[in-house]
Amino acid sequence: MLMFRILLSVLSIVSMPSAQASQVSQIELSAAAASQSIQMTDQKFEPIIESQPYEATCDRQVLDHVETICSTVNDSVCHGTDGEVCETQSDKVCNSQGCTEVPRKVCHQEQKVCETVPRRVCSDNPVMRTEYYSCTQYHDVVVGQRLVKTFQHSVEVSVDRPELLQGQSLVISLLAREDSVAPTLVSSFSLNMLTFEQAVSNSDNGTIEQISSRILVHVDSPTALIGKILSSSVQNLSLSAAGISMTIPGMAELSQDLMIAIKLTQHRFLIGDKKLFNDTIASESISPVTQGDDLKVTIPLAKMNIGQLKSTRHNLSISISLKRPALSILNANDLAAVINKRLEASISNVTP
């Protein structure tokens, strides 16, 4: 019963109403309505808690009786001492003039003698029992909530190049949670990559905070362009004394927009492979060469801070992806295949 009442008390605290509310609204942008404004309000509450009594069953330990418990213990009793013991003895010496007593010191070694003597020991020990009784206890109960702060949002959302929407509209959900607003694309848009930036200003008097947010949606790279990574591959991957080279068909227009993850190891038979490089290099930092629609990539060893390669076997793996934009992607779900695409290739046991 006691544990049941305590459990109810814990559950009443756990089930307190959330101290943080949120509001969700939607706006729609199109070529004809490139900017929309909306007012949103969010409120923060805290629970009102009271300590209330309840009848419970408590317990305590009381004396039931006393038991005498006896046991036998062994004491060690020793006699004598360890070491040399000396005493004086008299010798009788006689001559023509008579006899006399002459003292003489006599010593011998003694050893202490010990024996075990049993002894009966008794003690009185209290025996306790549990006694239950009715009692009043207290637990915290949520009896209401009080408003702590109100957040008044003024949000403006606009698109920078509405003409590129091509007749489609962008339905954007806005989540206001305390002093922040987060946009989410509800509709589908896969013609271009959409990114957004947000500028925020606010004033706060303690109980009311007024927040102004300007969200600008950028219509960025066409999907027809960045989607070329879906049909491309890494070809002619090679490792030489000069560095790494490869060809990426159809990716010439994305020469400055790739991230190249490289893992290069030197094969060692007895003590395991030696890691020479395991990092990512941006394509814009190595100036790839375009050949028609294809991309020729050369990565010098110096770019990877690697000196001369030894004339032993090496393992090389490459993974190429699109460089993520600095701004957040609004339609990441629509472009998931493009964003998450990796062009991978590897070669093993290569001697430069």
Give pLDDT tens digits for 66-83: 999 999 988 888 877 777
CATH of the domain at 261: 2.60.40
Closest of 262, 212, 216 to residue 239, by C-alpha: 262
Question: Do 192 and 170 belong to one domain?
Answer: yes
Question: Do 294 and 331 belong to one domain?
Answer: yes
Which is more confident, 3 or 328? 328
Question: Do 156 and 213 belong to one domain?
Answer: yes
pLDDT exceeds 70 at position 6:
no
Query: Are 48 and 143 within 8 A, CB to CB?
Result: yes
Tell me phi and psi for residue 302, to 5 degrees.
-65, -30
Tell me phi and psi for residue 337, to 5 degrees.
-65, -40
pLDDT exceeds 50 at position 19:
no
Q: Please report whether residue 156 resides in a domain.
A: yes
pLDDT tens-digit series, residues 31-67: 999 999 999 999 999 999 999 999 999 999 999 999 9
pLDDT tens-digit series, residues 201-235: 999 998 999 999 999 999 999 999 999 999 999 99
Q: By residue range, what is the domain housing residue 268?
A: 232-350
pLDDT exceeds 90 at position 164:
yes
Q: Please report whether residue 78 resides in a domain.
A: no
Question: In this predicted structure, what is the pLDDT of residue 248?
Answer: 97
Taking all residues of the chain, what is their mean pLDDT, rounded to a whole number? 89
Question: Do 243 and 201 belong to one domain?
Answer: no
* Rounded CA separation 296/192 (Å): 26
* Rounded CA separation 223/331 (Å): 11
pTM attached to this predicted model: 0.69
Question: Do 242 and 199 belong to one domain?
Answer: no
Query: Are 334 and 168 within 8 A, CB to CB?
Result: no
Percent of the chain residues topping a pLDDT of 70:
94
Mean per-residue pLDDT, 86-102: 75
> Distances from the Cα of 74 to the Cαs of 70, 84, 114, in angstroms?
13, 29, 12
In DSSP terms, 183 is beta-bridged to: 174
Q: Please report whether residue 128 resides in a domain.
A: no
Q: Please report whether residue 210 resides in a domain.
A: yes
Question: Do 48 and 184 belong to one domain?
Answer: yes
* Rounded CA separation 99/93 (Å): 5
pLDDT exceeds 90 at position 108:
no
Tell me phi and psi for residue 293, to 5 degrees.
-90, -5
* Rounded CA separation 155/181 (Å): 8
Question: In this predicted structure, what is the pLDDT of residue 190?
Answer: 95
Instruction: Report residue 21's pLDDT band, with 50, 70 and 90 as the boundaries.
Output: low
In the chain, the N- to C-terminal Cα span, in Å, equals 78
pLDDT exceeds 90 at position 280:
yes
Instruction: Report residue 18's pLDDT band, with 50, 70 and 90 as the boundaries.
Output: very low
Query: Are 42 and 155 within 8 A, CB to CB?
Result: no
Could you list the beta-strand ranges (E) of 267-335.
274-282, 289-291, 294-300, 314-322, 328-329
* Rounded CA separation 314/308 (Å): 13
* Rounded CA separation 107/102 (Å): 17
Question: In this predicted structure, what is the pLDDT of residue 208?
Answer: 96
Q: Please report whether residue 288 resides in a domain.
A: yes
Alpha helices in the chain (DSSP H): 2-14, 223-226, 336-339
For 202-223, the DSSP string reads: EEE-SSEEEEEEEEEEEEEEEH
pLDDT tens-digit series, residues 165-204: 988 999 999 999 999 999 999 999 999 999 999 999 999 9
pLDDT exceeds 70 at position 245:
yes
Q: Which of 169, 195, 220 is the last residue of a domain?
A: 220
* Rounded CA separation 313/273 (Å): 10
Instruction: Report residue 14's pLDDT band, with 50, 70 and 90 as the boundaries.
Output: very low
Q: Which of 165, 195, 220 is the last residue of a domain?
A: 220
Question: In this predicted structure, what is the pLDDT of residue 70?
Answer: 92
Closest of 272, 125, 155, 256 to residue 215, by C-alpha: 155
Question: Do 332 and 236 belong to one domain?
Answer: yes
Q: Please report whether residue 64 resides in a domain.
A: no
Question: In this predicted structure, what is the pLDDT of residue 98?
Answer: 73
Which range, of 2-6, 158-162, 264-268, averages the lowest pLDDT?
Answer: 2-6
Mean per-residue pLDDT, 303-314: 91
Q: Which helix (H) or strand (E) holds 36?
A: strand 35-79
What contacts 24+ positions apart, CB below 8 Å, involve 68-73?
A: 68/122, 68/123, 68/124, 68/125, 69/122, 69/123, 69/125, 70/120, 70/121, 70/122, 70/123, 71/120, 71/121, 71/122, 72/118, 72/119, 72/120, 72/121, 73/118, 73/119, 73/121
Question: In this predicted structure, what is the pLDDT of residue 107?
Answer: 78
Question: In this predicted structure, what is the pLDDT of residue 113?
Answer: 80
